Amino acid sequence: MATTPQATSPENNPRVKAVFDDIRATRKTDFVNNMWRSLAFDPGLLETTWADVKRLMATETLLDPLTKEMIYIAVSIANGCSYCVHSHTAAARAKGMGSEQHAELLAIIGLAAKTNHLATGLQVPVDPVFDLGGPASPAGL
Amino acid sequence: MATTPQATSPENNPRVKAVFDDIRATRKTDFVNNMWRSLAFDPGLLETTWADVKRLMATETLLDPLTKEMIYIAVSIANGCSYCVHSHTAAARAKGMGSEQHAELLAIIGLAAKTNHLATGLQVPVDPVFDLGGPASPAGL
Amino acid sequence: MATTPQATSPENNPRVKAVFDDIRATRKTDFVNNMWRSLAFDPGLLETTWADVKRLMATETLLDPLTKEMIYIAVSIANGCSYCVHSHTAAARAKGMGSEQHAELLAIIGLAAKTNHLATGLQVPVDPVFDLGGPASPAGL
Amino acid sequence: MATTPQATSPENNPRVKAVFDDIRATRKTDFVNNMWRSLAFDPGLLETTWADVKRLMATETLLDPLTKEMIYIAVSIANGCSYCVHSHTAAARAKGMGSEQHAELLAIIGLAAKTNHLATGLQVPVDPVFDLGGPASPAGL
Amino acid sequence: MATTPQATSPENNPRVKAVFDDIRATRKTDFVNNMWRSLAFDPGLLETTWADVKRLMATETLLDPLTKEMIYIAVSIANGCSYCVHSHTAAARAKGMGSEQHAELLAIIGLAAKTNHLATGLQVPVDPVFDLGGPASPAGL
Amino acid sequence: MATTPQATSPENNPRVKAVFDDIRATRKTDFVNNMWRSLAFDPGLLETTWADVKRLMATETLLDPLTKEMIYIAVSIANGCSYCVHSHTAAARAKGMGSEQHAELLAIIGLAAKTNHLATGLQVPVDPVFDLGGPASPAGL
């Protein structure tokens, strides 16, 4: 199922082809996954989305690549995005996540979800010491 | 605001005192934050919740402590838990997260949220290669 | 904070007064909580919302009143609605929910949230036996 | 998959038939989509749900029909309702939404999701000028 | 689709077999649903998850079994967990939930979701009387 | 409350000053709201976020400015972002949204939330005619 038509030959559009080529070159694989094929219905949206993903996820930054994928998985699970859970779990595995790390990641996500719901159910007031926005924020916590 | 009464002297209850003492000993601080004070209205719920948090977050496991906090923050933001975002951002800072790492964490969470919504809006079909549940799963991706 | 102006004397509007009067009569109290005062900026929205709430929550139906409030709390927590968690927890207490029931309610909600995130993270395929939509649904499970 | 049995001939029930007939007459089509077929397991729930949808979505109101569908899509994506995203995207296209508008709609939804997560992650305090609930609200902003 | 490999003979692992045996004994059925088969990729995660579910859902507690399933369904719907909605609706039916109760459950969940969104849209301030966290909480509401 | 320190004079940083100046020039007001002041802890995150918002929300595009704000509000409510609901409701009012339009917007959002939860609770199968991803998509619906 899909809400946009998937073109048979999306790369007939040169802007689409340029993005697909960059995906293949950046990831060193011929495979272009369905996310990009779906986005190809609008070259502008495809270009800006890929630019964002490339800048943060396919470029060397402060956080290591596997940590970034695990954070991405955490958000995707909490937001209930089935596609994203599949694609980023595959990416994390490709970057070295083994079954034990996967299990621990899921355990932490499950625990966070549980305490999120408990804290919201209890309406726990934020401890003043956690506030960094005031004029006299603590140097340390 | 809160949905449960917060006792003035919760540690008069020995089960509550035992948990609070363990929190203080485990974290090496006298500070017991409001989450535990709110949970103290029911010693059983307090005990099981702390046992879960201690086992995963205050014990040495596969993932390093700061990575675990960042994953916790990611879930808490996506679930919209204000208290949890405050408390776990404070915890991550205490474990060494600087402003640049915090900014990158937020950028990745924001990007994930954006592509989560795009993938859900497009209803992108999952690529067969992402499925690990079948009888002939790929060795690598 | 609020996104609509709260009138000083909302009951000067006869349609608002009629709803407020019905709330007071139905609930047998003079207290009209802020939800209805906020909705009073638009009498039509106030009327239809109260009609829905009255029909399901303030009328005798199949499920008992406390069970209905607990279900309402569960949804409100998962949707992160701070106001609703406060107002329906107060309503549940007024209908007899004690601290032990409250703790068990929160424990179940927390567990459900945890397994929701695990099942989404694992992308567990639905067991065919759980499908009631087919032509030959099982009589029992 | 489905959690309620779908009757082979739901319109044998006169209350179901009356709603289905009204759907067909209102929408000027013979097609009754699965949402209504699933709801038909309980004629009361079917009637009240259709009455709500008809009053707001199939009646001339202040907002134009396409804008209403786009708002509906936005909520459905954020709530992760796959069925609703499909059905309301189809409805929006039937009401004239072209690919460029669809792409812009998705881009705005993606941006909103991103800044929603950033604002929650930063726990940005609400600017007092945004509060309309006080006694001296600003005439303009 | 799935993000973890499902073993053909998971019970070759004695820890997995012990959990599966306990599920069968506790539920008095030979059927072990996919949730547990997916979790079997990590025996530790399987053990702790089943222990939690067994303690709250398969043990006699304050709330009756059907009420607990309905609360579970409410959370699962709000969190958008397709698998959980299926499995817990089946469990609720097995525990006696008829079509009329199911329809009323869904109606309450739908109403809660609607007023959750209204209250969040209006940013309704919490009535002081709903706060139980202060030093002089009301005996009743 | 806030999770990042808010500088007293953020514009001492020339990159922050450049963004704030552009916000003031683009919006034709001296007012810079707290979102940007909070983001100023990291000039890079501030720059990319403002660039995105400016390009879509403060530039003439296909959708009219008020429609875009209403879509933004819809997503922000569904995602439970209190700050965003406040700021974009204020923006919508500044762009001409009156109380009647506001009420209708909220009514549609509330209805969508209700039917989202119903469809998820029923696990309604997507009608094949809603699928645009196949090789022979319908010209119309």
User: CA of F1, closest CA in chain C: separation in Å?
Assistant: 15
In a domain, A23, yes or no: yes
Looking at the structure, tell me whether residues D32 and D77 fall in a common domain: no
Is pLDDT above 90 for B107? yes
pLDDT of B134: 60
The answer to whether residue D106 neighbours chain A at the CB level (below 8 Å) is yes
Separation of alpha carbons C110 and C114, rounded Å = 6
Residue range(s) defining the domain that contains residue D81: 62-115
In a domain, B32, yes or no: yes
* Of A110, D119, E7, the residue nearest B56 (C-alpha): A110
Mark which of E59, E81, E99 sits at the end of a domain. E59
Looking at the structure, tell me whether residues C67 and C110 fall in a common domain: yes
Q: Which residues of A touch C99 (CB under 8 A)?
A: none
Q: CB-CB: which of A63, A100, A126 is closest to B86?
A: A126
Is pLDDT above 60 for C135? no
Looking at the structure, tell me whether residues A67 and A101 fall in a common domain: yes
In a domain, D134, yes or no: no
In a domain, B131, yes or no: no
Is pLDDT above 50 for C141? no
Looking at the structure, tell me whether residues C94 and C54 fall in a common domain: no
pLDDT tens, position by position, F107-134: 999 999 999 999 999 999 999 999 887 5
Separation of alpha carbons D117 and F81, rounded Å = 8
Looking at the structure, tell me whether residues D55 and D66 fall in a common domain: no
How many domains does chain C contain in total?
2
Looking at the structure, tell me whether residues E68 and E116 fall in a common domain: yes
Q: CB-CB: which of B73, B82, B114 is closest to D113?
A: B114
C 73-92: CB under 8 A from E: 74-84, 86-87, 89-91
Mean residue pLDDT of chain C comes to 93
Is pLDDT above 50 for E57? yes
- For E53, how many CA atoms within 13 A lie in the half-sphere containing its CB? 23
The answer to whether residue D115 neighbours chain B at the CB level (below 8 Å) is yes
Looking at the structure, tell me whether residues D70 and D44 fall in a common domain: no
Mean residue pLDDT of chain E comes to 93
Looking at the structure, tell me whether residues B68 and B104 fall in a common domain: yes
In a domain, A134, yes or no: no
Q: Which residues of A touch C73 (CB under 8 A)?
A: 121
pLDDT tens, position by position, C19-77: 999 999 999 999 999 999 999 999 999 999 999 999 999 999 999 999 999 999 999 99
Kindly compute the dihedral angle of the four CA atoms of residues B30, B31, B34, B39, in this order, to the nearest 10 degrees.
Answer: -30
CA–CA distances in Å: residue B22 to residues A124, D127, E27: 21, 40, 36
User: CA of E17, closest CA in chain C: separation in Å?
Assistant: 19
Looking at the structure, tell me whether residues D83 and D106 fall in a common domain: yes
Contact between C76 and C84 under an 8 Å Cβ cutoff? The reply is yes
In a domain, F133, yes or no: no
Separation of alpha carbons E57 and E73, rounded Å = 13
pLDDT of C140: 37
pLDDT tens, position by position, D59-89: 999 999 999 999 999 999 999 999 999 999 9
Instruction: Tell me how far apart the terminal alpha carbons of chain E are, to the nearest angstrom.
Output: 49
Instruction: Kindly give the confidence (pLDDT) of every residue in chain F, 141 residues in length, as a single tens digit, with 9 standing for 90 and above.
Output: 899 988 889 999 999 999 999 999 999 999 999 999 999 999 999 999 999 999 999 999 999 999 999 999 999 999 999 999 999 999 999 999 999 999 999 999 999 999 999 999 999 999 999 988 754 444 333
Q: What is the number of CB-based contacts under 8 A between chain D and chain F? A: 230
Is pLDDT above 70 for E16? yes
Q: What average pLDDT does the segment A34-61 reach?
A: 97
Separation of alpha carbons B11 and B23, rounded Å = 13
Report the 10 Å Cβ neighbour count for B16: 22
Looking at the structure, tell me whether residues E50 and E89 fall in a common domain: no
CATH code, domain with E30: 1.20.1290.10
**Chains contacting A with at least 3 CB pairs below 8 Å?**
B, C, D, E, F
Separation of alpha carbons E71 and B75, rounded Å = 22
Looking at the structure, tell me whether residues A69 and A104 fall in a common domain: yes
Q: CB-CB: which of D2, D131, D135 is closest to C131?
A: D2
Residues in chain A: 141
Separation of alpha carbons D48 and D56, rounded Å = 13
Contact between E75 and A114 under an 8 Å Cβ cutoff? The reply is no
In a domain, C2, yes or no: no
Contact between A130 and F5 under an 8 Å Cβ cutoff? The reply is no
Residues in chain E: 141
In a domain, D122, yes or no: no
Separation of alpha carbons D81 and C14, rounded Å = 39
ipTM of the complex: 0.94
* Of D12, D37, D13, D9, the residue nearest D23 (C-alpha): D37
Is pLDDT above 70 for B114? yes
* DSSP string across F25-60: HHHTSS---HHHHHHTTSHHHHHHHHHHHHHHHSS-
Looking at the structure, tell me whether residues D26 and D69 fall in a common domain: no
